[in-house]
Structure formats: structure tokens, C-alpha cells
């Protein structure tokens, strides 16, 4: 495996002496080059989440096309498209809906499809999917381009977008929150019901700033009456519940066990805070109202479970003989690894052997969680679906 800059590809009990590490930034998901641990091969759960909102998204795309007076062109953007089979999914749904609305034989509109993600995203792999995608069957009326950059800043020209989608992306912060005093979240990597209130306050403030920046940028880039359709991880209560945090609490437990065994540096674990936040509805409404450019048309919370949505679905017999918790643990660990491995490599100086060991331990803790009498097979994740309309 290639070494990334600043990553030691071996476990060690000595680490370079340096100043406190900067805030954790999500560099990218595991790329297609990472094989079985790549995001492309471990994103079925995100695809299933997107499928739940498909009909509404397509109805909104068709309605917008009609409301615009069946224009000669429309601009469709996906913010945080990532790579793999999901990268073209959201825009393909919108294109399909608009062209179906124009199926009466009229001249089809020219559809400008903009794919956005961080500059480190594997856009080459995305464009290799185009010839076999639904976008290639549109008779040349669909023009696809990549627009690398953080969606917490400006990406597109002024008033250039009609229809904007983002799925399973906005729960990632631009970077982890700044906390004082130093390392108040010792032994944890995220907010926790048992953690200091200051940690939740810091995460909430960072999400507020990031989501406000996101909306300000989209307000400049979206045409009047254009729509944003956003889906990302959320929570139902103002204070996170243990189940809201269990994925990160178990990951922290593994890291602390590895630190105690001398496999990773304990100070680095204390300094690591994942750049992720699942907001509650009240937090979302406050930011949307403060920014002021969008009308909130829909805010809907829904729960998703791998038991229904991942392939292949476990047979009933597996549930009876206890195989389901093991299956859930394997699938969940693979999904989490595809997302967080680059962060762990960069900020905790972890090599391949340490990473394999970490996620083996993590899978075992997940299996124990799914076998527990209080949380048996409880793998549901809460998401929020937002529809925002740009004001005139």
C-alpha cells in the first residue's frame, strides 16, 4: 500500500514530538484504490438512505421544471457526490424525472449536471462510470462536469443552480471543533451523553457556523425559487442519547484499549475529535431562520436500518441462530472504516497493521452491542430530509 504524506505504515511505540495537532479535517473517503475497504465497495447503506427520498426528490425536480415554464436548460448539482456507484445516483434521479416530464415529444432541455466533492475525491473513477450510467442514455442533452471544492465555501457562479441535492454529507463538519481547555474530551472522539457539556456546546457551535456558511454560499449560487434537498444524519432530541453516539463511543473504546497496549499514542487519541455532528431539528431551524434566504418547506426525520436496506438481507434463520448481530457488526464496521480510515491514518499516525487490528476490535464491540439485551440488533440511524426553497 502506498504511504500517504505524514503517515507511518507500521505500528510503533514511539511518535514524533510535535505541537498539539490541528483540528481534524476529513481529507476524503477511502478511494477506489483501497480495494475491499474502499468507500465505493462499502456505501450500500448510503445508497439505501438515498432511495427513501427518491420519489419526493423526483417529484420536486419535475415540479420545478414545470414551475420554471419548461425552460431550455436547467442546472442540477450534487454536493458531496463522493465516488463509487452512488456518485451519479442523485443527479440521475433528477435528470430522469425532468426528462419524463418532457416525454410528450417536445425538445428536451439541456441539463447541466455539476458534481461536487473535496479536491481529493476520486473524480476519475466517477467519470469512468458515465458510459454505463442513465446519464449516457439521454441523447446528449446532459452535460456533466466536476466542481471540486468544499461546499462550506463558494463552488459555483452566482445564480447558476436550479436544483441542488446532497445526501449523507452535511453531517461532516469542515473540521473538528476547537475546544478549550486542552483535550476536554479525553477518552472520547465525539459528543457523549456522559461527556462534558462544553464538548456538546463546541460541536453545536461548529455545526452552526458550518451550516450557516453552507446556506450563505448556496443562497448566492441558487436562482430564485430554486430548491435544496438535503439528507444527512440527525437526532431527535436536544441532548444526544447513548444510541445516537454508540458508533463513536465504541470507536473511542477501541482506541483507548490500543493506547493502553502501546499501539497508538494516548495523547493523540485524547486530541482526536471526529469532524461529524448530527443536529436536532431545533438547531437546524434556527440556522435556516438566521441565514434567511430560504423557506423551509419540509423537515422530516426518518430511521434507517441495515436489516432492511443492505444486501443480501439476512435470512430469518440467521436471526434465530444469532447470526444477525455478527452480520450487522461486519457491515457496520466496513462502512465506518471506509469513511474514517483516512482521518485515523493522518491524525493518529496509524499504519496498515494497526488499522486492521483496530477494526477487528471494533467489529467485536459492535457485535457485543448488537447482542446485548437492551440494544439487540438495534442498528437504526436517524436522518433528516430537508427541502429548502430560495426566496425571490
Domains and CATH numbers, the chain: 32-390 (3.40.50.150)
Which band of pLDDT confidence, cut at 50, 70 and 90, is reported for residue 309? Answer: low
Is the pLDDT reported for residue 130 higher than 90?
yes
When pLDDT is averaged across residues 207-219 and rounded to a whole number, the result is: 98
3-state secondary structure 205-236: HHHHHHHHHHHHHHHHHEEEEEEEEEEEECCC
The more confident residue out of 24 and 368 is 368
Tell me the pLDDT tens digit for each residue of 107-117: 899 999 999 99
Q: 39-44 long-range CB contacts below 8 Å, 24 or more apart?
A: 39/82, 39/83, 39/84, 39/338, 39/339, 40/83, 40/84, 40/85, 40/125, 41/84, 41/338, 42/334, 42/335, 42/337, 42/338, 43/82, 43/84, 43/85, 43/86, 43/335, 43/338, 44/309, 44/310, 44/311
- In this structure, of 59-63, 213-217, 230-234, 338-342, the range with the lowest mean pLDDT score is 338-342
How much of the chain, in percent, has pLDDT values that exceed 90? 73
Is the pLDDT reported for residue 3 higher than 50?
no
Question: Which pLDDT score, from 0 to 100, does residue 321 have?
Answer: 54
Which band of pLDDT confidence, cut at 50, 70 and 90, is reported for residue 140? Answer: confident
Is the pLDDT reported for residue 4 higher than 50?
no
φ, ψ at 30 (rounded to 5°): -60, 130
Rounded to whole angstroms, what are the CA distances from 238 to 46, 183, 234, 297? 25, 23, 11, 22
Question: Which pLDDT score, from 0 to 100, does residue 314 have?
Answer: 53
As a whole number of angstroms, the distance between CA 215 and CA 154 comes to: 10
Question: Which pLDDT score, from 0 to 100, does residue 311 have?
Answer: 55
Question: Which pLDDT score, from 0 to 100, does residue 139 have?
Answer: 82
As a whole number of angstroms, the distance between CA 376 and CA 83 comes to: 32
Question: Which pLDDT score, from 0 to 100, does residue 102 have?
Answer: 87
Question: Which pLDDT score, from 0 to 100, does residue 105 have?
Answer: 67
- In this structure, of 29-33, 44-48, 284-288, 355-359, the range with the lowest mean pLDDT score is 29-33
Question: Which pLDDT score, from 0 to 100, does residue 254 have?
Answer: 97
Tell me the pLDDT tens digit for each residue of 5-29: 333 233 333 333 334 446 777 667 7
Rounded to whole angstroms, what are the CA distances from 106 to 74, 109, 138? 15, 9, 14
CB 75 within 8 A of CB 162: yes
Average pLDDT value for the chain: 89
When pLDDT is averaged across residues 318-346 and rounded to a whole number, the result is: 86
Is the pLDDT reported for residue 2 higher than 70?
no
Is the pLDDT reported for residue 320 higher than 50?
no
Is the pLDDT reported for residue 1 higher than 50?
no
Residue with cell 441565514: 291
CB 250 within 8 A of CB 187: no
For the chain, where are the alpha helices, taking DSSP H only? 44-52, 54-67, 89-101, 123-128, 197-221, 242-260, 266-271, 281-291, 306-309, 316-320, 323-348, 352-371
Is the pLDDT reported for residue 264 higher than 70?
yes
Q: Give SS3 for 288.
A: helix
Which band of pLDDT confidence, cut at 50, 70 and 90, is reported for residue 315? Answer: low
As a whole number of angstroms, the distance between CA 86 and CA 88 comes to: 6
Residue 213 CB neighbours (<10 A): 18
As a whole number of angstroms, the distance between CA 200 and CA 206 comes to: 10
When pLDDT is averaged across residues 238-260 and rounded to a whole number, the result is: 96
Amino acid at each position: 500500500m502506498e504511504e500517504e504524506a505524514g503517515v507511518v505504515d507500521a505500528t510503533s511505540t514511539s511518535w514524533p514530538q510535535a505541537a498539539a495537532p490541528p483540528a481534524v479535517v476529513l481529507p476524503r473517503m477511502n478511494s477506489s484504490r483501497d480495494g475491499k475497504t474502499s468507500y465505493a465497495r462499502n456505501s450500500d447503506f448510503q445508497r439505501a438512505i438515498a432511495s427513501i427520498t427518491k420519489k419526493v426528490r423526483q417529484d420536486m425536480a419535475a415540479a420545478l421544471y414545470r414551475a420554471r415554464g419548461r425552460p431550455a436548460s436547467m442546472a442540477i448539482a450534487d454536493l458531496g457526490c463522493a465516488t463509487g456507484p452512488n456518485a451519479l445516483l442523485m443527479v440521475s434521479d433528477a435528470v430522469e424525472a425532468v426528462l419524463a416530464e418532457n416525454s410528450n415529444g417536445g425538445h428536451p432541455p439541456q441539463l447541466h449536471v455539476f458534481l461536487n466533492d473535496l479536491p481529493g475525491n476520486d473524480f476519475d473513477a466517477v467519470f469512468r462510470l458515465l458510459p454505463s450510467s442513465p446519464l449516457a442514455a439521454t441523447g446528449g442533452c446532459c452535460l456533466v462536469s466536476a466542481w471540486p471544492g468544499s461546499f462550506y465555501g463558494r463552488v459555483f457562479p452566482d445564480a447558476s443552480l436550479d436544483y441542488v441535492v446532497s445526501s449523507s454529507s452535511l453531517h461532516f463538519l469542515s473540521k473538528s471543533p476547537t475546544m478549550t481547555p486542552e483535550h476536554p474530551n479525553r477518552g472520547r472522539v465525539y459528543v457523549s451523553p456522559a461527556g462534558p457539556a462544553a464538548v456538546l456546546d463546541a460541536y453545536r457551535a461548529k455545526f452552526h457556523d458550518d451550516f450557516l456558511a453552507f446556506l450563505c454560499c448556496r443562497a448566492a449560487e441558487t436562482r430564485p425559487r430554486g430548491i435544496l434537498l438535503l439528507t444527512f444524519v440527525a437526532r431527535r432530541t436536544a441532548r444526544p442519547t447513548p444510541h445516537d453516539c454508540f458508533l463513536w463511543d465504541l470507536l473511542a473504546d477501541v482506541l483507548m484499549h490500543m493506547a493502553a497496549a502501546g499501539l497508538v499514542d494516548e495523547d493523540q487519541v485524547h486530541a482526536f475529535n471526529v469532524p461529524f455532528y448530527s443536529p436536532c431539528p431545533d438547531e437546524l431551524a434556527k440556522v435556516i431562520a438566521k441565514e434567511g434566504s430560504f423557506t423551509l418547506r419540509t423537515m422530516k426525520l426518518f430511521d434507517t436500518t441495515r436489516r432492511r436496506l443492505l444486501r443480501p438481507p439476512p435470512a430469518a434463520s440467521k436471526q434465530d441462530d444469532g447470526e444477525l448481530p455478527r452480520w450487522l457488526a461486519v457491515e457496520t464496521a466496513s462502512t465506518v472504516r471506509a469513511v474514517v480510515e483516512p482521518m485515523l491514518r493522518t491524525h493518529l499516525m496509524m499504519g496498515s497493521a494497526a488499522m486492521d487490528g483496530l477494526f477487528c476490535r471494533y467489529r467485536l464491540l459492535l457485535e457485543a452491542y448488537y447482542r446485548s439485551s437492551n440494544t439487540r440488533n438495534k442498528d437504526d440511524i436517524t436522518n433528516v430530509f430537508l427541502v429548502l426553497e430560495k426566496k425571490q
